[in-house]
Amino acid sequence: MVTNLKSRILHLNLNLAIQGVASSVWYHVSMVRGIVPRQPAKSGRHEGVRTRRGAKALRDRPTRHNLEFPQPKPKKAAAKKGQPRGYNPTSPERVGEMLTRLDKTYPDVTCALRHHDAWELLVATILSAQSTDVNVNKVTPILFKKYPTVKDFAALKPEALQPDIYSTGFFRNKAKSVVGAAQKIVSDFGGKVPEKMEDLLTLPGVARKTANVVLGTWFKQNEGVVVDTHVHRISRRLELTKQNDPKKIEQDLMKVIPRERWTLFSHQVIWHGRKLCMARSPRCVECPLENICHAADKTWSTVESHKGAKA
Ligand code: SF4
């Protein structure tokens, strides 16, 4: 009985082995020689996975159809954020139009600080920092009556000057600057205010803004653009600059405003800032520049505003 069972199991194993060999032979015979079945790449980068670059290459490949019917290229994004395509706020046409309108509105404007010579203008400009021209004009007539010449100022101690200029604010620093400038003018420049930018910049309390006021207004030299708080604000609103630093703003303005206009432009914009384009609530409805101004903080507008155009 046991012997019979063993012989039957042996027979079954033999059958299975014969079937396995037969199927393997059939598989190799049925495959065409040279063709290997595709296996997915282990890296995952196999054919059919399209990258963006691959899709572009596929779209632009030089097929007959593509050559006959070239596809339009996708549009590029706007050149500058917050500005429409093709708009150039510093184009000569736009700046020229701006200057023409400023000329009509403010034809003969000049510096509002009262003065009779370069020294008085220099002192008044130093005192006008963080103050108003109206306030400085109240102080200077009394001051120049008390100390008529540069030598009179040079002989003072800063403390002696402080009460006279107290109402203009920052009186300690301003007194130091005025007396220091007077002493330097007497010792190095023969008692006369120098006419060169590099010399003016050696005087205590004198930076480019003050030097530009004196050179442009008294000596009629266009050496730069006066960038005070009004010019700073308005040139940003009008998109003539995106800078915040007065030195960089001046450089931008010097590139777009013709040189012979630098001083006049400064005075016109300063007057515009006082009369209409104030820091808070500018009077846009009355402004001659309204339809070419895209400032984001306008109070009234007939044109679209630009995000980047703000004070
Ligand atoms: S339209 Fe308004 S914001 Fe623009 S310059 Fe004139 S007053 Fe200033």
For residue 277, report the distance from its CA to the centre of ligand 1, in Å: 5
Of ligand 1's listed atoms, the one at least distance from the Cα of 293 is 4
Of ligand 1's listed atoms, the one at least distance from the Cα of 276 is 7
Q: Average pLDDT, whole number, for the chain?
A: 87
User: Is 82's pLDDT higher than 70?
Assistant: no
Active site residue 209: yes
As a whole number of Å, the CA-based R_g of the chain is 41
For the Cβ of 276 lying below 6 angstroms from any atom of ligand 1, the answer is yes
Pocket test for ligand 1, best of 240, 298, 299, 306 (most atoms within 8 A of CB): 298
SS3 62: coil
Catalytic residue among 164, 174, 209, 298: 209
Residue range 234-285, pLDDT digits in tens = 999 999 999 999 999 999 999 999 999 999 999 999 999 999 999 999 999 9
Residue range 15-50, pLDDT digits in tens = 655 565 555 545 554 555 666 666 666 665 555 555
Report d(CA 158, CA 183) in Å as an integer: 11
Burial class (CB in 10 A: 0-12, 13-18, 19+), 41: exposed
More confident residue, 245 or 68: 245
Report d(CA 219, CA 212) in Å as an integer: 10
For residue 278, report the distance from its CA to the centre of ligand 1, in Å: 8
For the Cβ of 309 lying below 6 angstroms from any atom of ligand 1, the answer is no
For the Cβ of 102 lying below 6 angstroms from any atom of ligand 1, the answer is no
Residue 68's pLDDT band (cuts 50, 70, 90): confident
User: Is 189's pLDDT higher than 90?
Assistant: yes
Lowest-confidence pick of 6-20, 122-136, 222-236: 6-20
User: For residues 207 and 245, is the Cβ–Cβ distance under 8 A?
Assistant: no
Neighbours of 48 (CB within 10 A): 5
Strand residue runs (E) in the chain: none
- The token pair at 172 is 């300690």
| Closest to 136 (Cα-Cα) out of 176, 178, 194, 185 | 178
More confident residue, 211 or 57: 211
Residue range 136-171, pLDDT digits in tens = 999 999 999 999 999 999 999 999 999 999 999 999
| Closest to 82 (Cα-Cα) out of 286, 294, 262, 252 | 294
For residue 308, report the distance from its CA to the centre of ligand 1, in Å: 15
User: Is 208's pLDDT higher than 60?
Assistant: yes
Residue 53's pLDDT band (cuts 50, 70, 90): low
Residue 20 pLDDT: 54
> Which whole number is the average pLDDT over 276-296?
97
User: Is 7's pLDDT higher than 70?
Assistant: no
For residue 113, report the distance from its CA to the centre of ligand 1, in Å: 25
Active site residue 245: no
Task: Give me the sign of the Cα torsion angle 63, 65, 67, 69.
Answer: negative
Report d(CA 278, CA 229) in Å as an integer: 10
Residue 85 pLDDT: 72
Catalytic residue among 164, 228, 252, 298: 228
